[in-house]
Structure 1
Amino acid sequence: MLRMPAPVRGLGLSDAPRALEICGRDPVSNVFVAARILEGGMAGGRNSVLGYDRGGRAGLCWTSANVVPVEVSDDMLEPLAAKVIKRRAWASSLFGPVDQVLPLWDLLAPQWGPAREVRRHQPVMTMSTPPSLVGVACDPMVRPATVEETDLVVPAAAAMFTEEIGYPPYRGSDRAYRLSVGALVRAGRSLVRIEDGEVVFKADVGSVALDVAQIQGVWVNPRYRGQGLAVPAMAAVVEHVLTHIAPTVTLYVNNFNAPAIATYRHVGFVQTGTFATVLL
């Protein structure tokens, strides 16, 4: 049990096991925060995680560039929101389970609003069976990018981000962005199909924790869309992840992106929850 004199406090490295236990109540929904904890997000006195504990009820809130609630019930919302506002003047987004994110946003909005966009319904989709076992063909040309291909992956990743979020991932120097993309490439977690020196398809394994891998950054080069590449390419990604990284694969998708949802369903994903995202 997290020991704290007040209901909410910033957590440190010694609290990591209990924080991961709380994330483990719903490993699929909480994989992003669990992965950040495992990567050292609670070390160094940064207190990126706020913890609530009162009367045996415990929840968390990741508070960095993104704000992400974890197992937060209605009675935890106000004290956590007050602490988030005190700690941060701004964040780039708020995301997570819809029943936690939207009530939390209602409390943060007077200080942080208006939102640039509120995406209120994002299906969380999950699968654990390799596509090849259910008759879905995998694209043999999809593979982890090599370090030498980072210069090809960076513009593809930036194009995907811009298309998805509505603004570019960096302004001016791309150094910090290249470092983040390069880290995924070096870890073998950026999967690509490359033809004639051009990225045709890309998907990243953004978070891995608690036997779950979360896919993000799925992108088909606009010049190659409508050619039937997405399903076998995505199937290859899932096959690779289930074989080499984690026994469960998940992602979340905008409800208005009908082609993407159809692709994921064809591969074998089923909806297991609903997220919401507030873009600031």
Structure 2
Amino acid sequence: MTQAAAPTSASTPAPGDELQPVVEALRGARQRWREAHRRGGDGRELPSRELLAAMVQALSGALFPMRLGPPTLRPEDEDFYVGHTLGTAMTTLRQQAALELRHDARQRGERQPTEDAAELAGRFLRTLPAVRVLLDSDVLAAYRGDPAARSVDEVLLCYPGLRALISHRLAHELYKLGLPLIARVVAELAHAETGIDIHPGATIGSGCFIDHGTGVVIGETAVIGERVRIYQNVTLGAKSIPTDGDGHAVKGRPRHPVVEDEVVIYAGATVLGRVTLGRGAVIGGNVWLTRSVAPGCVVTQADSLDGTT
């Protein structure tokens, strides 16, 4: 025996009656936003997070095919896989770069981009051997610096700091080529996955070891030297944000720390402003630091509170 449907009250609106005003209001909001921000009406105008995520995964496999590539890959097929994967990734990059370049041109009031997406993709491709060398140094730094690491393969497969550095090394090259939006998407995908927030503009030297990593923040203009070790919840941030006469943030000025070679920054330390941590300095846990530190100095939490070193 089937139960009869309850009759609809004459005062209860039908689903379509509820939806239509919301759909129209959202259309109006979109139109106002697009007019205010010079958006066109020619379909997708910005790079796709989903396609860029797939591109980064493909590039990771091409950089480390027998570790991050497909599980069925055999050594004799390595070069074929790398070539095919790079070709696919560069097709994606050309398409996504063209979207970013066209968007930037519209924002400047220009009809055509001044840069060529295919040329930028080619230049990025040629950076990959050097990126692999840098990542090899990062893997070794983690293996040598962590007594819990049993092999370099464990570091590559398991360590979130290395995962974040793979994305950062790629994003930094894209940033330098003039594709900051794509670079930022790549960086934020890694941030969401690892909890490590590295702006693609940050410069990081070879042999970087981000241990544990969750909560690490590294700002856009930070400069990190070689063989630097950073623990979880470290912030390399800006002390203050300069503004123009209208109160808008002034962009591009150096405002984050410079960390020289062989510095160690322990968990929970916060270093703000364009200060320099000299070579070999050690910054203790939970230190709050807004001044430069001489090479070789050890700064503890008590030192940071009373202003001594």
TM-score by length of structure 1 reads 0.24
Give the number of the structure whose residues are more often helix, by fraction.
2
TM-score by length of structure 2 reads 0.23
Q: Between Structure 1 and Structure 2, whose CA radius of gyration is higher? A: 2
Give the number of the structure whose residues are more often strand, by fraction.
1
